[in-house]
Amino acid sequence: MRFSRDIKIAPSILAADFANFGAECRAVEDQGADWIHVDVMDGHFVPNITFGPATCAAIRPHIRGVMDVHLMISPVDAYIDGFAKAGADIITAHIEAGPHIHRTLQAIRASGAKAGLALNPGTGLDGVENLLDMIDLVCVMTVNPGFGGQAFIDMSDKVARLRALIGARPIHIEIDGGITPETAPLMARAGADVLVAGSAVFKGGSVADPAPYGAQIRAIRAAAEGALGVAV
Ligand code: DX5
Ligand code: ZN
């Protein structure tokens, strides 16, 4: 994975057909997705359950690019090696998921995956500064985690302060929740480079009719790049 701050669109398979993950991953990549975002939920840290390492391992061969695994689970540490062995390129854990986030991030890096740190909307940047040398990504949640299709919560100010804190370090800022062509420009302008989008990518399309996926990915990208003044 070469580091770049170019805008990346990461469709969340939480909004895909759960009976057809492999084909859905191939379809969104063919339609222009940069990363595939994989939402793991445990029914304990968040009020919803999705799937675990076995499903990640099953979909891995269907992803050509980056598999971005977002763990909404607590505890985390006992499961890290399972997700790394499943082929996760990035493993993101929540700062709220336990008392020892430093140990968790160490374990993620030791597993060979890139380490991500996720922050709920109610969590500030206190503590992030001490972790900057051990992370590759910060995921700023713009919904309370647990479900797709929720209303966007504007975290522009937090993202801008985080961007300043990161400075020249090669750390991605990812935004997760409620991203659409309307909300993407705010986040790009504040300093985000990875935009996760579930419902806004998958709505109205299917494996049999994937063109809406492409149109929706291009619309989000164009809105974000437009806000940065990138020629589109
Ligand atoms: C929320 C998940 C998100 C979610 C985004 O708990 O982490 O990745 O799928 O879905 P949308 O884009 O529909 O808000
Ligand atoms: Zn997510």
Domain with residue 119: its CATH number is: 3.20.20.70
Alpha helices in 53-126 (DSSP H): 53-59, 80-85, 101-110
Mean per-residue pLDDT, 126-146:
98
Neighbours of 152 (CB within 10 A): 17
Whether residue 67 lies inside any domain: the answer is: yes
pLDDT band at 232 (very low <50, low <70, confident <90, very high): low
**How many angstroms separate the CA atoms of 95 and 36, rounded?**
22
pLDDT of residue 1: 80
Structural domain that includes position 150: 8-227
Q: Is there an atom of ligand 1 within 6 Å of 200 CB?
A: yes
The minimum-distance atom of ligand 1 relative to the CA of 199 is 13
pLDDT in tens, 9-37: 999 999 999 999 999 999 999 999 999 99
* Ligand nearest the Cα atom of residue 12: 1
Q: How many domains does the chain have?
A: 1
The minimum-distance atom of ligand 1 relative to the CA of 179 is 12
CA distances from 54 to 21, 35, 79, 95 (A): 13, 20, 11, 24
Assess whether the previous peptide bond of 75 is cis (omega < 30° from 0). yes
**How many angstroms separate the CA atoms of 133 and 120, rounded?**
21
Whether residue 1 lies inside any domain: the answer is: no
Ligand 2 geometric centre to CA of 12 (Å): 7
Q: Is there an atom of ligand 1 within 6 Å of 201 CB?
A: no
Ligand 1 geometric centre to CA of 176 (Å): 6
pLDDT band at 39 (very low <50, low <70, confident <90, very high): very high
Whether residue 117 lies inside any domain: the answer is: yes
**How many angstroms separate the CA atoms of 89 and 47, rounded?**
26
pLDDT of residue 205: 98
pLDDT of residue 148: 98
| Structure tokens given for 133 | 């040398």
CA distances from 140 to 1, 93, 119, 231 (A): 21, 12, 5, 26
- Beta-carbon neighbours within 5 Å of ion ligand 2: 39, 70, 176
pLDDT band at 230 (very low <50, low <70, confident <90, very high): confident
Of 39, 42, 68, 193, the active-site residue reads 39
Q: Is there an atom of ligand 1 within 6 Å of 121 CB?
A: no
Q: Is there an atom of ligand 1 within 6 Å of 118 CB?
A: no
